[in-house]
Amino acid sequence: MHGASVELIAVSKRYGAALAVDAVGLQVPAGSYCCLLGPSGCGKTTTLRMIAGHETASDGHIRIGPREVGHLPPAARGTAMMFQSYALFPHLDCLDNVAFGPRMRGVDKATRQRRAREMLALVRMESYAHRLPAQLSGGQQQRVALGRALVTEPSVLLLDEPLSALDPFLRIQVRAELKRLQKELGITFIHVTHSQEEAMALSDLVVVMNGGRIEQAAPPREVFSRPATAFVARFIGGHNVIALPQGCRLVAVRVDRMRLSPAGAEDAAPGPSLTARVDTVEYQGSFVQLRLQALDPAVSATELFAVMPDDAFAARPFAVGEPVTARWGEGDAHALRDVQPPAVAPALEELSP
């Protein structure tokens, strides 16, 4: 198997008067793991289905490798899709479920069963070859569905929220398996999720969508450290979005960079500051999270958060209702773009093989 690049050029999707995807542009390098991330209704699943050919783009172009594929049926695109529901045939055992695609393509029985056994081994389900889906756990059904998608040797694997039905512990295990398989096979994965943690853990490229448009497309570290817009900063989490009075700048400040001191106390550390009141204190094991209400009328922020290491909070705890000064370094404030995102997300040449 080998991966292919995927390129969307001003792709839109309309359902009557409703615009579900609005002129998105994106380049996914061959052999990379891309996550489409965003809230429900942002257009990420519609985008995935247009790549697969299960939806027809209203406008724009879709390329997989060097080919324009917008006019091609799903089976001719070199893609395979793994659905959220897994969609296994209940009357077929695991082996025949995996072999179903090659069977529909006219592959002889011996060859398709050999390939199906290879795929079951790849997803570590070979000992369950003759069990029915009803005899499997959710995680095992997910592995069989993955084997069925891979047996057709796609150059791009499309995954529609494949982990959402799993419990949190199993989700972490299967997440590691997906990353292992993608690296071993070298094919391109495009994975739809609404989980920030999932996208950060899996992807080489995170594409944050909102209202049918791409707000930011970048490696996960860049998306977290340098969110492009207020929406990205809030959706990814771990940031305060603050409108500063100096020049009406909108900035993001990571919650772990907020330093708290009692209101009125001297603080030799330089940097911007604001006055606030502690609204809640939540113990999270290795750290304590505090929710703050800004009291400075010159600063626009509905609520703020700060996190402190557990030992630092134990040495100087803050009580609910206590007034505090929240301070951060000049270098900790990242300016946000408060304009509409561009129609075409930037190419990530550094991810290209």
Burial class (CB in 10 A: 0-12, 13-18, 19+), 163: buried
The secondary structure of 243-271 as a DSSP string is E-SGGG-EEEEEGGG-EEEETT----S-S
Residue range(s) in the chain whose domain bears CATH number 3.40.50.300: 6-230
Q: What is the pLDDT of residues 306-349, one digit of tens each?
A: 999 999 999 999 999 999 999 999 889 999 986 444 444 444 43
> DSSP for 22-79?
EEEEEEE-TT-EEEEE-STTSSHHHHHHHHHTSS--SEEEEEETTEE-TTS-GGGTTE
pLDDT grade for 274, boundaries at 50, 70 and 90:
confident
CATH 2.40.50.100 region(s) of the chain? 238-335
Task: Indicate the CATH number for domain 238-335.
Answer: 2.40.50.100
Residue 204 or 250, more confident: 204
> What is the average per-residue pLDDT within 142-164?
90
- On whether the CB atoms of residues 29 and 15 are closer than 8 A, the answer is no
For domain 6-230, the CATH class is alpha beta
Band (pLDDT 50/70/90 cuts) for residue 301 is low
Question: From the CB of residue 280, how many other CB atoms can be counted at a distance below 10 Å?
Answer: 12
Is pLDDT at 14 greater than 90 in this prediction? yes
